[in-house]
A and B are shown apart, each in its own frame.
Chain A
Amino acid sequence: MTTDGSKTPVRVTEDVVVAPRPVASNEPAVADEAGAAGDGRDVPMSTHGLSCYFGSHHVVEEVSLEFPANSVTALIGPSGCGKSTLIRALNRMHEVVPGASTTGEVRLHGADIYERGADPVAVRQAIGMVFQRPNPFPTKSIAENVLSGPRFLRMKLRRGERDDLVERTLRGAGLWNEVKDRLGAPAGGLSGGQQQRLCIARALSVEPDVLLMDEPCSALDPQSTSRIEDLIAELRSRLTIVIVTHNMQQAARVSDHTAFLTIENEGEPGRLVEFGATNAIFSAPKNSRTEAYISGRFG
């Protein structure tokens, strides 16, 4: 981790060809636009010079970001820029892949999730995740899928509490009315969109502080997608959400803040280019790379 003392979170440059490393500071980039006041906000999670590697391959370099509470932060960027790797590093799922490693910090309520003594199991309970492909446990029933999180935590639940939790969580994921008559049916029988909402419910069942969503709609049809987007809008009031998306319209629709990552040249790691309020990024990007990506000129 370097400390170069730079206080400028995002360096604005017009130089498209040789853009310098835009954010290489330990001070997290702060969405400094109206609506997200700079100081004194509740910021449950932030990254500080987070770099990710696969073996010796450097995938993400020195990303520093803040994820404000009760808001949705979208990570966008061209394929291969490392946004999926970055989001997996936020709850230590990155290290599950052989050879994967990270440097830098990810702070959750001030504590570094990578510090010695921090257990990945505890980290993942506090920071939930939804994957690209819906991955319910296919042999378990719908209710059992929802309850699998609390079971891992060995919460003592009486039958009534259990039913209550299932209903509450499934309602929260907007799935209750569709499945309330077949809670005992195997989850494998649900449609793709329903499976994904079940996965969201499963992640919500342990009341995480932060929910990470890695392209949650990329395997779904448009209708299921808009259903999930509605759900994200509802969840925002009670959660901090980070979402990776390929779809810029989706980022514009669902997110409050947007971070744009890219790779300058083949073989280089992905870097953070610009971070700000979504409407500002989409209407008046400060960086020409961002503008080029958003207007569809590259990526």
Chain B
Amino acid sequence: MARSDGAAGVATPPGVATPLRSRLRRPFGSRLADTVYLTLAGASAAAAIALVAYLIFSTARETSPVWETFGVWGFLTGREWVISPPTGGPRLGALPFIYGTLATSAIAMAIALPLSVGIALATTVFLPRPLRRAVAGVIDVLAAVPSVVFGFWAVVVLVPWANPGLEWIAEHNLRFLAFLTAVLLLATLLSVGPLLRPLLALTVAGLVLVMFLILTGALHAPVGLLEGPVLSGSYMLAGIVLAVMILPITTAIIREVFATVPTDQQEAALALGATRWEMVQHSMIPWSRSGIVGASALGLGRAMGETIALALVLGSVPNVFGSLLGPGATAAGVIALQTGEAGQLQLAALTALAIVLFVMTMIINGLARILVRRNAGTSRRRRSAAPTDPDAEAAARADGAAETAPAPALVREGAGSLAPVAGIRRLRSGVSETLIAAAVLIGMLPLAVLLVEVVRNGTRVLGASFFTEVQPTDPNAVAGFGIGNALVGTAILTGVAVAIAAPLGILTSLCINELNGMGGWPRRVGDAIGYFVDVMLGMPSIVAGLAAYLAIVIRAQQFSAFAGGLALAIVMFPIVVRAADEVLRLVPGQQREAALALGAPRWRTAWSVMLPAALPGIITGTMLALARAAGETAPLLFTSLGNQFYSTDLFEPIAALPLLIFKFTIDVRTDQSVDFAWGATLVLIAFILLLNLMARLTARLIQGGRRG
């Protein structure tokens, strides 16, 4: 706008042009402020991208010994993970861990997906309205429980409780029973109707495959999929724990997908005399099919990246194609357990494994996003698809005149009766509504059980000194010790993470927003940054931890609170950006245009229009990200490492509450030390749930204050 001084200035008479031109100029200060604002926004986006790119690059560079020694294909298909064999060099292959990751994820999906669809339906259609929000809220709370808590609970409670049952299954050769279950499952699916017709075909194929595996013994493996011995943790239990962990995510997304089904589609079915279940089947499911598939893919991506709970339940036994009742390891889990004391080649192999995992989750997340977006896209298209073609109508009109309306020949059974539907329709509705109610109950069960146990066991050790003393070193003598050092450590780590992630995240979301407003190629750059943030969002947190380890800790020869905070910041950053971006998008375009039309510079518009409007959302998003970071263990394992003393030095190892629980779960356990860990778990859960509650309340208060 101010660039037209040159050629245009020559053509106009000087007497007229000069005052006009100077009036059309903006004062230098105002322009400078805009430049500073835009540079800052752009720079923070660039800095975030550069940081992660650097981490990925330096991580990838560490893996070269693996490719040199084993070759890409050799590493990916290597069935052994022997670090120091009696003869020859280490034999390291990724296959056992890829198998473990896929097996646990598959079990988790098979459990979580039907439950999620059921809960999503219950909370959008079937439950009484006041209950819908409550149930959805409980499931959301489940999402806030940290991975290490699930892991601790599973090791201490679930494994001892469930293993006798699994042993029984393994002892009695239950192939016949498994077969029967599969057949029953199939029959239920068929009777519930053509739910997700394409998915049905997939499910049938999957079931047939599972039955085949069960009946033949898995592939070439010496053991069948459901054979003993049942030791500690197993793929089966790990899968069940994982299912509980991904349930909230898939449920939330499927709920959103169902919410996009237009009311008139639902009414169309109801007005034809459909029961609620038939309405779901005929108007909601067909509309949301690709969205549901996308939601399950996002859940799968999340399941594959889950680390700590699986490391604790499953351990790190390379067990390729092993029995589902046996121990094993997932890629993320083995990285968490072995990186700390890995030799050179082993560290390179673990890093390569992290990259394989990252690529796998990236592909799955990418697919998921395409599917969810396509679902939203088709909804919008279908919504607006009402093309009217007057010519065709006119032509058809001439035809139609010849049509006659014949007398009705069809007689409804029981015409005129207003009695409830009976027979098979009633049965189907009843069966499906019962199944949905069961899904809600099963979905709420884990949280209820967990909370009851944590409160019952945790309160035993609580006392004033528990919050002030340092952690014990001897599992047999925990009396008089506490979690004071861990609390301070967690506060410092999350503080560092927020200080890095919040300003960078908010500025990056403003940058995306400004770029989007410009259109053309800047918009595409904005989309690219958004895509990059999505990739970060899907990155398993153990990968962030490993990258910070390789790039900072090894280089500096020093575990440090700063490295831990940075790793947590990498976890927080995309959550903050996404939250801020979503609310910034919701600020009506007219408001922004109103400010710009008044001659407000860009930075002013951002500062006094965009940010205030988006503030509640940004605060909520940041606090939720903080709650997430406070419960993370995986990024801290080999960055901040843990410290049994008080420390506030940013460049020394530092303790953290999740690390403490993790340590007390894998170390030698005594009754005393387990009680101590229950206490720490109670404090961690209370802190995180409180943070969640505050985040939601803050948003509501700010919004309420505005409205009132």
Interface residues of A (CB under 8 A from B): 91, 93, 96, 98, 108-109, 111, 113, 115, 117-126, 128-129, 131, 133-140, 148-155, 165, 168, 171-172, 174-178, 188-189, 191-195, 199, 202-203, 205-207, 209, 219-221, 223-224, 227, 234-235, 237-238
Contact = CB atoms under 8 A, between A and B. Distances in A.
B275 A121 contact: yes
Given A124-B270, A191-B388, A133 B264 contact: yes
Contacts of A234: 405
Contacts of A121: 273-275, 420-421
17 contacts: A91-B271, A108-B416, A115-B418, A123-B273, A123-B418, A126-B418, A133-B264, A137-B282, A137-B286, A150-B410, A152-B269, A168-B409, A178-B392, A191-B388, A191-B392, A199-B268, A221-B388
Nearest to A145: B268
Interface of B: 129, 262, 264-275, 278, 282-283, 286-287, 382, 385-390, 392-394, 396-397, 399-400, 402-413, 415-421, 423-425
B268 A131 contact: yes
- Cβ-closest 3 pairs across A and B: A125-B273, A119-B420, A118-B418
Given A178-B399, A191-B393, A131 B267 contact: yes
A178 B400 CA distance: 8
Given A137-B282, A138-B385, A168-B406, A122 B419 contact: yes
A168 B394 CA distance: 22
Contacts of A203: 271-272
Contact of B268 (A137, A165, A176, A206): A137
Contacts of B409: 168
Contacts of B410: 150, 155, 165, 168, 205-207
Contacts of A115: 418
A119 B406 contact: no
B405 A235 contact: yes
A177 B129 contact: no
A26 B432 CA distance: 41
Contact of B271 (A117, A129, A137, A177): A129
B267 A176 contact: no
B271 A131 contact: yes
For B287, B396, B397, B416, the residue with the greatest tally of chain A CB atoms inside 10 Å of its CB is B396
Contacts of A117: 418-420
B267 A174 contact: no
B403 A221 contact: no
Nearest to B129: A98
Contacts of A194: 393, 396
A178 B396 contact: yes
Contacts of A220: 388
Nearest to A114: B418
A121 B406 CA distance: 27
Contacts of A221: 388, 390, 393
Given A96-B270, A124-B273, A238-B405, A138 B400 contact: no
A152 B396 CA distance: 30
For A113, A199, A235, the residue with the greatest tally of chain B CB atoms inside 10 Å of its CB is A199
A139 B287 contact: yes
B407 A119 contact: no
A191 B418 CA distance: 35
Nearest to B276: A121
Given A193-B393, A206-B273, A136 B268 contact: yes
For A93, A96, A189, the residue with the greatest tally of chain B CB atoms inside 10 Å of its CB is A96
Nearest to A195: B386
Contacts of B412: 125-126, 153, 206-207
A223 B420 contact: no
Given A148-B272, A152-B272, A227-B393, 13 more contacts: A119-B418, A121-B421, A122-B417, A122-B418, A126-B273, A188-B385, A192-B386, A193-B393, A199-B268, A202-B272, A203-B272, A223-B397, A238-B408
For A98, A119, A171, A209, the residue with the greatest tally of chain B CB atoms inside 10 Å of its CB is A119
Contacts of A175: 400
Nearest to B265: A135
B429 to A, nearest CB: 9
Contacts of A153: 273, 412-413
Nearest to B424: A154
A152 B273 contact: yes
Nearest to A171: B403
Contacts of B408: 207, 238
Nearest to B279: A152
Contacts of B394: 223
Given A138-B382, A219-B386, A224-B393, A172 B275 contact: no
Contacts of A207: 408, 410-412, 415
For B273, B278, B424, the residue with the greatest tally of chain A CB atoms inside 10 Å of its CB is B273
B272 A177 contact: no
A207 to B, nearest CB: 5
For B270, B388, B394, the residue with the greatest tally of chain A CB atoms inside 10 Å of its CB is B388
Nearest to B421: A121
A128 B269 CA distance: 11
A174 B405 CA distance: 8
A185 to B, nearest CB: 13
Contacts of B423: 154
A93 B273 CA distance: 10
B425 A154 contact: yes
Contacts of B421: 119, 121-122
A139 B382 CA distance: 9
Given A195-B386, A238-B407, A124 B272 contact: yes
A8 to B, nearest CB: 31
Contacts of A113: 418
Contacts of B385: 138, 188-189
A227 B416 contact: no
A200 B418 CA distance: 22
A129 B266 CA distance: 13
B419 A119 contact: yes
For B129, B393, B409, B418, the residue with the greatest tally of chain A CB atoms inside 10 Å of its CB is B418
A205 B402 CA distance: 21
A139 B286 contact: yes
Contacts of B287: 139
A122 B386 contact: no
Contacts of B269: 137, 148, 152
